[in-house]
Amino acid sequence: MTNAPSSEYVQSMARGLAVIKAFDVSHQRQTLSDVARRTDLTRATARRFLLTLVELGYVRTDGSLFWLSPRVLDLGYSYLSSMSLPELAEPHLDVLSKQVSESSSVSVLDGDDIVYVARVAVSRIMTVSITIGTRFPAAATSMGRVLLAGLPDADLDDFLRRVPLPRLTSRSIHTPDALRIELDRVRREGCCVVDQELEVGLRSMAAPIRDGAGAVVAAVNISTQAARYSLEEVWDQLVPTVRSAAEAISRDLARTERRRSHVG
């Protein structure tokens, strides 16, 4: 945490969540010492949290190693099931992917990252697997830049001042000034194309999904191999389809919000 915790801060809950987050694709099975080291907790404290999570069914153990159980997915599903966006987006992603024979996704902004909440995969084009819940740095992705461009000025200023911009490839935008110029363009044009900045050989394009009030709440994108489409073809053929999908999802989202408000 960058700021001092408030008087309402529950340290034990924060530690429990830190233990869960200590497990990832590179650390799927860990010893007690591994978890203690990754969470900066004492072995005794880490042990209590791990055994509590075992009793609750979120973690499994063979006595020496610990690993997450499928029940952890319930935590993410609680969020997804409380929002209509993934359900609304899925049929539009199906249509979009069939139109262009490419993978399509929807993500939301969570802190400094984007998180995938819906996806239709056509082919594996990245060296990392993308599933619901996958996170990427917002600054390096087309969906992230659409979402950042939709932030209030003060929040965007804070992001550009605070967040490091690593050079993931030789094409990556890696200075705050350059990123601000790009985000200003994204705001004006209502779309974003990222050319091999997250991964060499990968091009992606995104457009904003807006709620009934016009606020940017999510983004939809297509990812493709650079060899399949030139940049000119991306702008002429793929960007219009992404924009159409974003507009269709936005209309459905606005209608859903209106129905909810009438019922309420």
User: Which amino acid type is present at position 226?
Assistant: A
Tell me: the pLDDT tens digits for 192-220? 999 999 899 999 999 999 988 899 999 99
Does this model's pTM top 0.95? My answer is no
Taking residues 136-154, report their average pLDDT. 95
Q: Read off the pLDDT band of 122 (50, 70, 90).
A: confident
The mean pLDDT value of the chain amounts to 89
User: Which amino acid type is present at position 150?
Assistant: G
- Specify the pLDDT at position 73: 72
**Per-residue pLDDT at 130 exceeds 90:** no
Token representation of residue 191: 């779309």
CA distance 132 to 116: 5
95-104, 178-187, 252-261 — which is least confidently predicted? Answer: 252-261
Percent of all residues in the chain with a pLDDT value above 70, rounded to a whole number:
91
Return all residues near 112 (Cβ < 8 A) that are at least 6 apart. 137, 138, 139, 159, 163
Tell me: the pLDDT tens digits for 84-120? 788 889 999 999 999 999 999 999 998 899 999 999 9
Q: Read off the pLDDT band of 17 (50, 70, 90).
A: very high
- Specify the pLDDT at position 256: 79
What is the per-residue burial (b if ≥16 Cβ within 10 Å, else e) of 85-98?
Answer: bbebbeebbebbbe
